[in-house]
Every structure is written in structure tokens, then in C-alpha cells.
Structure 1
Amino acid sequence: MHKCSLLLPVLFLQALSYNYSSINLPDEHLLYFFRNLPQLTERCLKDKECLFKEHLNKDRCWGYEHDCEWTKQYSIPACPGDHKGWVKSKFAQQTTFHTQADFGYVKEQIKEMKMMCDPLFPDDSSLECSEHLRFCRARNIMMNFTKLAHRDEPIRYKMDVLGDGDIGGYCELHRDKLLKEADHISPLQSWGPELRYFTKLKRRPIVQGDCDVVVEKPTFVMKIDATVNMYHHFCDFLNLYASLHVNTTDEYTFSTDVNVLIWESFEYRSAFGDTWEAFTEHPLWDLKTFKGRTVCFKNIVFPLLPRMIFGLYYNTPIIYGCERSGLFDAFSKHVLHRLKIPLYHRKNKMIRITVISRNTKYRRIVNEEELLKAIKKNDQYEVKRVVYDRDMSFKKQLEITRNSDVFIGIHGAGLTHLMFLPPWAVLFELYNCEDTSCYFDLARLKGVKYITWQKADKIKSFEDGTYKGGAHAKFANYSFDVEEFTRLVDIAAKHVKNHPEFQDFVKRAAKKESILHEEL
């Protein structure tokens, strides 16, 4: 029997010296972390080796805690625009946005949690889920993967990985309640396809040795979207991050000493794979890892999924006039911190402009060199042309993005990088290819300024005639009027210059440089 290292019970941990090095969070997130763990706060106060005392007992909260005051939460949505009749007041507009796409969404999942299988004793199993089985967590459960040994076809987006009796636990199962919530039966919408087969076992599977493998580290099971596309794959990562908050009930919530099991048999490959380092320090598992074996998990989480109805962020209905989700901001900072992406020191007030160049068949900028030459004439602009492809590591891409003030590119998944722009930045979607809301909404969620091409008579399309799927703006290449392009870039640069956080960042950098010169 294979055994992974033990996740110690909380009561036992309290008798031991806590490993504070496991708290690898951005400094500004530490006080929110301790806010939800009073037992850890007490331990830190008494422990001479705890270096986090300055972050304790702060009157702040993420925004999903039951006693979190509106003015004390991580961030308050900005709603400068008209809600267009959705609600009756500005505050209602803010709270609607908060529930749709911020930590209020996490709060809703926590409020919805219901026991589907009740334990009676500590060694029993348990299963707890939010409505429609969008998020679930369980303890001491069994999964039977023996049938996969006789299954030759690759598994991806399948709803028949498990069948009757292939998943279960020793607990009091509320089967009618479980089946009622299993109403979103689709590969990436809920855990209904898998958990509808949950069965009450006659024995405690771990205690009585019914498992070929016992996994004792916490495990996150992931049904993931298209890994070749940044927009879709980051819906996986954003939902995983949100799930950490839904699961914020113990001190190891944000630990990377956890396993990730990808719910397919394909070997995981993605240009964005570095992002997993923000969540786990261990190699990824897939269904081949346990093919032909019965596996028991002591602590398992079924996270929020990328294509949930009214989910995050692929199907998010966003009220008009609002922007800046604290959840998206925290996710961005979490990933940048965990991946150690540097923020460059500023030596001047020049506007850093990054232009994404496409080497694909469609949506190329035909007169790209001419456009670049035009804006390079402005001595206040520092212009960088980049190709974000497999020849550049994803961490290097994030480094460039994080240090960009104006980010320019034609419609495409690469614009998902906007989630890692600084708060003063502008996303200039050069042309949205008739998909008007995709990156406009994502920019709103992140809280960065969005602009796009406005004058149809100053853009020209070039179609090569080889695309047979019917005319569509995404299957052409384009040239843009140089003067109009320059005008829009100037508008973006002006926004950056006037943004209070940009001005403060430049001032602090100049002050730091002045102090450094004095010391030298």
C-alpha cells in the first residue's frame, strides 16, 4: 500500500510548532489570512519565532466572512457607470457586482454548502457540496478506478469515468438531496456526472484496508478547459483560486503541499503550465496515475469549474457600470507572488507600451512596422514588440506584462494577460473582431482601462479566401490608419499618466532612488 505524507489534524497541530514558512502569500494578503484563523493568530502571538505579528488582529476581511463589514472588506467594487435599470440604487449596483464576480460569489458558495453524507465518528467519511454540486469537499472517501484498466480510448470531457459503486464513503448518505443537486449534468459545469454515483459503503474503506492506495495529502481534482488557450485555461486557475477561499476552514488552505489530479488520461501539456506552481509543489497527476486501482483520499476537494452556469469568469453576467473585482485582483497578486514575477524599478516617467505581435495565420497586423515606427517617435514612450509563443517562457511573458503600462494587441487569447497588468494600465484591444464583450468584460473584472478601435472607415481587412467556414472577422488580417492608431495610444498614455497609483508608484521609485544615491 502506497502512503503519501500525513496531513496532521488541526488539534494535533496545535501542540506542535507551526511551520510558518508555509504561509507564502503577498504581504498585503497576510492579515486576511490570519483574520480567518484565530487559533493560528493566538499561536503566533505566543511564538517568539513567528515573524507575522504585524499582520495580526487587523480589522479587515476578504468579503465572504459572515461578520465582514462592507467597508472593511478587501475591496469595494467601483461602479462609476449607469446600471441601466438592473437595480434601484448605487449600493445595490455594487452589491450585485460583488455577488456576481467578486468575493460575494465565494460567500454564496459557502452559504449554500450542505452535507450530502454525514459522518458519525472521526474515521467516517463525509461529503459536503454547494448547490448544483458546483463545489464539493470530502474526507475518507473511496474511488474505484479498476475499470480504467480495460479502457483504451483517451479520456477527456467524459461523464462516464465513474459508475455505480465507483465512489463512496462510510457515512449517512442523503441520496435524494444529492440527486436533486445533480441537475447540471455536463462535463465542465458541475461534479454531478461523478458524484451522482456516490454510494454508502458498508465498511470504513481506509481503516479496514479496502484501498490499494491511500492519499493522505489534500487533493484537488480538476476538470480543465482547453489548455492551449490562455483565456480558457485561466478560467481553470481563477476558479481554483476562488475554491481555496470557499475551502478556507483550516490553516493549510493556501499551502502548496497538496496534490492536483487532472480528470483525464491525456498527459498534461500547456504553455501556461508554470502557473501550477502557484498552487502545488508536486507533479500533476492524471487518471493514468491510478488506472486499475482503488484509491482512498483522506482529504479531497472538487473545485469550482470553468463553464458553470453563471460561473467565473466564462459565463459571468456582469451588471453594467461596475469594475474592479477584489477576487480577480487578489488572484493576480497571488500568482505573481508565488511565481516570483518581478516588478521593475522605475527610473523615469516614460510610458511602457507593449505590442503583442501575432505569428498566426489570421488576425495579423499587416502594417505593424508602420504603426510601431509612428509611436516610437514620441520620446515619452518606451515601445516593446513581443511575440508570446512557446519560444518565450510563460514566466518571462508575465514579467513583461506586469511591467507594461499600455498593452496592445488584436483580439485573441493572449489578451488574457490583462489580468496581470498593474492597476493603472490600459488594455488597447486594437480590434475586437466583432466580439465586443469578451476582453472588455475581463478588463472590467480586473479593473484596468479598456479601449478599442472606434472608426470602421480607418481599418482595412484582408481575407485570403482559404477559410471555408463562412465570413467572420476573426478569420482575416488587418491594417490600421496610422494617425488614428497614434491618437488612441495617446489617449491610453494620458490615462496612465493621470492615474493616481501610477503617479504614486513613480514618486516612490524616485524617492527610493534619491535615498540610494545619498547612501552611495
Structure 2
Amino acid sequence: MRGREVPGGQWREEESWETNMRMEHVWVCVAVVVLAPGLLGSRWDQLNLHPDHMPYILANDHDLAEECRVSRTCPFKKHLNQPVCWGYERGCEATETYSNMSCPGDARGWVTTKEEQLSTFFRQADFGFVQEQLSEMRMYCTPQHPGDSWLECSDHLRFCQGNNIYIDFRPLKHRKEPVHYHIDVLDHGQVGGHCSLDENRLKSNSDQISALQSWGPELRHFVELDERVWRRAEMCDLWIESPTYLMKIDATVNMYHHFCDFLNLYASQHLNSTHHSTFFLDNQIIIWETLPYWSNFGAAFEAFTKNRLWNLNDVAGKRVCFKRVVFPTTATHDLRPLLQHSHRVGV
């Protein structure tokens, strides 16, 4: 503290001067943070993507593109304002798409024209699948007020996502057998949200009830809740702020089957691309099993998250509330045959 105690309040004046200087310093710091987003660069470090993908990411995320434009440290400025698209966006021209499919061979017996061959293969094995799923997305539980829950899904509950969703995992604590390919993890009322539920739509789409076919076995039990789902709600033993992916997985010892899981997760990132943090690594993945996860191919998860993988043991015995949750597509588990004589997909 500056000065000395003398009559006339000189001490107080110098103390006030020093306090004002500290306050000015604080306001300068605040101004730097507000006016220079991304200045520290940590946000860009979270985008663990191939440089070839960046023009497409920035073309789809206008908020992220603007943040990069005004940031002093964004390393992706050269990728801004490029006329490109993945292939599933509205108005995406064939000359701008990421995919570069090739179908040089004949596919008679499957299709009748070359155009049909290309479009069928695009829908089966490329971003056309994402486009198809996006066209099916419907609201299943609609928010009525700001801060309410919501849940939207594609047909047959093959892919779903929502905000402020509640799941009661307390019964898992007393379960004797491990959860692996089980369809009875949740029961009526153990999953829900504070929103207006379309019960008829939910019932009519809860028609694919097997382990890896859809999220029907779980979300058919979705109910409206009287209480809002938020951080301080009494019902929430655990609140998860980070975007969370609940993953059903296949045989982890088999490269073919397990990479179906990773393809499903990657496709789900694109289906979830309206969320600003879709391709960032600060998210939580919860494997829908109680068996400890192990695989020779587990390093592939590092492309999706920087955090430790959880499984259902990490939430057993708790009522968990998710700020943002994704139920990834299980589409590649269908093992459908692809069109002959076609290759080179973008996915």
C-alpha cells in the first residue's frame, strides 16, 4: 500500500489511486478476453482434424468461421470462405462435395443407369446416408419454455440427440449380470425430459428392438418429467456438462466389427453438426456396457475424445443429467451388402 498516514486523508487518496490502477488492469484483461476470442489458441488445439477437412468444417459452422476470422491465433484462416461441402448439405453442388466416388463397373441387376448406380452407392456408403438420416429427423419431445429439454430422432430411433436429458442408472448398481448386448438396461420412466412428448410418434418408431439395431430398446421408455432438468435439479445426482456420446459397440476384438463402431461415431458427428463443439475433443464417451473396455484398436478413440472412456459402471447407482447427449447411429451394424463395382467414398 502506498503513502503514509498523515492528516487530511492523503493515505486514502493514494490507496484509492492504487485501487483504481488495479481496476483498470482488470478491465484491460476483460477487454482482451472479450474482444480477442481464441487469443490463447487452446480452442484451436481441440480441433484434432486433418487439414484437408478444415474448409468443410468452417463452411458448415458459421460461428466457428467467424471466431477464426477475428482471432489472431487461428491457424485455419486460409481455409475460410471456400465453396465446399461434405455432400449432405442443402444446395451442395456435386462439384463442391468432399466425396469423389467412382463406379467404373457395371451394376446391372441392382440398378438400370449409371446415375442410379452413383446415387445408390452415395446413399449406401457415403455422406448420402447422413443426408438420408437428416431428412428423417423429427422432434419427439418438444420444449415449451427456454431451458426445457428436447429430444429429436431419425426414423426407428436409429439416431437421437437431445438437451437436458435425464437417465436413471440406479438399478444398475444391484444388477448381478454384466451388461453386454442387453436391451433391458432401462425401464419405463428411467429416461425422460421436461418437454412435450409425442407419444404416438415414439410408439410407432419403437419397432426395432434388438441390441445393435436402434435406440428403441432404451428410448421407448422415455417420459415427460414434471421437474426441469438442469444443473441444480434435485433429481440430478450427476450433471454432465460436456457433450456426451452413449455408444453401443460390437465385438472389440474384431477389426471389421469394431471399426463399424467408429464409422457410426464419425457419421453421428456429422448428424450432430449443428452443435458448435461437434468436432472438438472435449467430450465424454460412455460405452453402453459394464464390461471393462479393451481393444487393440482402442487408439482410434483418440480421434474423437481427449478424455477417459467411461462405461456404465461409471454412472451405475446414479441419476445422471446430460446437458447435451447423443445416441449415435447404429447403421453399419446392419451388415447390408453394397453396390458392386463402386469405391472411393468420402466417409
Name the structure 2 match of 1:446: none
CA RMSD of aligned residues (A): 1.6
**1:158-237 superposed matches below 5 A:** 158-206=182-230, 207-237=232-262
Q: Which amino acid aligns with 1:38?
A: H
Secondary structure of the residue aligned to 1:72 is coil
Contact conserved, 2:240 with 2:321, CA < 8 A, in 1? Answer: yes
Residues 1:274 and 2:274 aligned together: no
Q: Which amino acid aligns with 1:240?
A: L
Residues 1:289 and 2:309 aligned together: no
Kindly report structure 1 stretches of 4+ aligned residues shifted beyond 4 Å: 13-16
Quote how far apart the aligned CAs of 1:37 are.
1.1
Name the structure 2 match of 1:320: 340
Name the structure 2 match of 1:459: none
Secondary structure of the residue aligned to 1:299 is strand
**1:113-192 superposed matches below 5 A:** 113-192=137-216
Measured at CA, do residues 14 and 71 of structure 1 come closer, stay the same or move farther in structure 2, by a change above 3 Å?
farther
Contact conserved, 1:101 with 1:312, CA < 8 A, in 2? Answer: no
Measured at CA, do residues 74 and 143 of structure 1 come closer, stay the same or move farther in structure 2, by a change above 3 Å?
same
In the alignment, the residues of structure 2 paired with residue 65 and residue 96 of structure 1 have an alpha-carbon distance, to the nearest angstrom, of 17
Q: Which amino acid aligns with 1:232?
A: H
Measured at CA, do residues 72 and 124 of structure 1 come closer, stay the same or move farther in structure 2, by a change above 3 Å?
same
In the alignment of these two chains, the number of paired residues is 310
* CA displacement 1:417-447 (0-9 Å, x = unmatched): xxxxxxxxxxxxxxxxxxxxxxxxxxxxxxx
Quote how far apart the aligned CAs of 1:236 are.
0.4
In the alignment, the residues of structure 2 paired with residue 285 and residue 208 of structure 1 have an alpha-carbon distance, to the nearest angstrom, of 23
Residues 1:39 and 2:63 aligned together: yes
Name the structure 2 match of 1:78: 102
Quote how far apart the aligned CAs of 1:16 are.
7.0
Secondary structure of the residue aligned to 1:70 is coil
Residues 1:93 and 2:113 aligned together: no
* CA displacement 1:217-244 (0-9 Å, x = unmatched): 0110011101111111111011111111
In the alignment, the residues of structure 2 paired with residue 156 and residue 16 of structure 1 have an alpha-carbon distance, to the nearest angstrom, of 48
Contact conserved, 1:235 with 1:314, CA < 8 A, in 2? Answer: no
Quote how far apart the aligned CAs of 1:41 are.
1.8
Contact conserved, 2:191 with 2:221, CA < 8 A, in 1? Answer: yes
In the alignment, the residues of structure 1 paired with residue 34 and residue 101 of structure 2 have an alpha-carbon distance, to the nearest angstrom, of 37
In the alignment, the residues of structure 1 paired with residue 111 and residue 342 of structure 2 have an alpha-carbon distance, to the nearest angstrom, of 12
Contact conserved, 1:218 with 1:258, CA < 8 A, in 2? Answer: yes
In structure 1, the gaps of 5 or more residues are 1-12, 306-310, 328-520
Quote how far apart the aligned CAs of 1:314 are.
5.2
Measured at CA, do residues 157 and 15 of structure 1 come closer, stay the same or move farther in structure 2, by a change above 3 Å?
farther
Relative contact order higher in (CA < 8 Å, ≥ 6 apart): 2
Quote how far apart the aligned CAs of 1:324 are.
1.3
**1:482-497 superposed matches below 5 A:** none
In the alignment, the residues of structure 2 paired with residue 290 and residue 265 of structure 1 have an alpha-carbon distance, to the nearest angstrom, of 10
Fraction of identical pairs, as percent: 49
Name the structure 1 match of 2:29: none
In the alignment, the residues of structure 1 paired with residue 67 and residue 233 of structure 2 have an alpha-carbon distance, to the nearest angstrom, of 36
In the alignment, the residues of structure 1 paired with residue 77 and residue 95 of structure 2 have an alpha-carbon distance, to the nearest angstrom, of 24
Quote how far apart the aligned CAs of 1:204 are.
0.5
Quote how far apart the aligned CAs of 1:72 are.
1.2
Contact conserved, 2:47 with 2:281, CA < 8 A, in 1? Answer: no
In the alignment, the residues of structure 2 paired with residue 162 and residue 184 of structure 1 have an alpha-carbon distance, to the nearest angstrom, of 16
Measured at CA, do residues 313 and 294 of structure 1 come closer, stay the same or move farther in structure 2, by a change above 3 Å?
closer
**1:22-37 superposed matches below 5 A:** 22-37=46-61
Quote how far apart the aligned CAs of 1:46 are.
2.5
Contact conserved, 1:101 with 1:316, CA < 8 A, in 2? Answer: no
Quote how far apart the aligned CAs of 1:319 are.
1.7
Secondary structure of the residue aligned to 2:332 is coil
Farther-moved stretch of structure 1 (312-321 vs 108-117): 312-321
Secondary structure of the residue aligned to 2:269 is helix
Contact conserved, 1:34 with 1:41, CA < 8 A, in 2? Answer: yes
In the alignment, the residues of structure 2 paired with residue 96 and residue 14 of structure 1 have an alpha-carbon distance, to the nearest angstrom, of 48
Normalised by the length of structure 1, the TM-score is 0.58
Residues 1:103 and 2:127 aligned together: yes
Quote how far apart the aligned CAs of 1:208 are.
3.1
* CA displacement 1:452-504 (0-9 Å, x = unmatched): xxxxxxxxxxxxxxxxxxxxxxxxxxxxxxxxxxxxxxxxxxxxxxxxxxxxx
Contact conserved, 1:80 with 1:321, CA < 8 A, in 2? Answer: yes
Quote how far apart the aligned CAs of 1:151 are.
1.1
Q: Which amino acid aligns with 2:61?
A: L
Secondary structure of the residue aligned to 1:57 is coil
In the alignment, the residues of structure 2 paired with residue 157 and residue 251 of structure 1 have an alpha-carbon distance, to the nearest angstrom, of 32
**1:452-467 superposed matches below 5 A:** none
Secondary structure of the residue aligned to 1:312 is helix
In the alignment, the residues of structure 2 paired with residue 290 and residue 250 of structure 1 have an alpha-carbon distance, to the nearest angstrom, of 24
Name the structure 2 match of 1:400: none
